[in-house]
Structure 1
Amino acid sequence: MKKIATGILLFTKNCLLFINGVLVAYVVYIALLILIEGNRDTKRASKEGNIPL
């Protein structure tokens, strides 16, 4: 019985770690997308001569 409980605990721990990793990766991906898009916008704006602050 104790073995099963430990197994379930390990399984849930691994699942949580996995979900956490996926969430972190997703957040980083979105942050990078925003940064890239923002850079593109500022480059375009600086070419036109009006840089929004």
Structure 2
Amino acid sequence: MSTPVNLNRARKARARDAEKRKADANAAKFGRSGAEKRAEAARTRAERDRLDAHRREE
């Protein structure tokens, strides 16, 4: 005889899996990779440093 299955747990687990798959698809479709995020941060940092270098001191 097989073990009983809690239907609420099974339903919730199935819903969690569906949400995870949807989130992964959206991340692949709209998200940026770690390398892209690091490159953007480096670019922003370089622009800020360049602007600070041109700042006049009073």
Q: TM-score, normalised by structure 2?
A: 0.46
The structure that has the greater radius of gyration is 2
Q: TM-score, normalised by structure 1?
A: 0.49
